[in-house]
Structure 1
Amino acid sequence: MFNEAISELGLIELPLKGRQFSWSNMQDSPLLEKLDWFFTSA
């Protein structure tokens, strides 16, 4: 449903600047996740 709403509203994702991931568990072999998403309309 989320992806449908984004598509129907014509929203586009704004890319993160400077890094690919916004969260890390800070371990030797880290788990990296993208938690922040930003959308805008044209």
Structure 2
Amino acid sequence: NFNNIIINLDLVEIPLKGRSFTWSNKQDQPLLEKLDWVFTSS
């Protein structure tokens, strides 16, 4: 459903610049995740 809404609204994701991840658990062997997305209309 989420992807269909993005497509139907003709939204595009604004790419992350300068890093690949937005969250880390800050452990010795960290879990790195991209949790945030930013969209705009074209």
TM-score by length of 2: 0.91
Identity across the alignment (%):
67
Identify, as 1 or 2, the structure richer in strand: 1
5+ residue gaps in structure 2? none
Moved over 3 A (4+): none
TM-score by length of 1: 0.91
Secondary structure in structure 2 of the residue aligned to 1:5: helix
Amino acid at match of 1:15: P
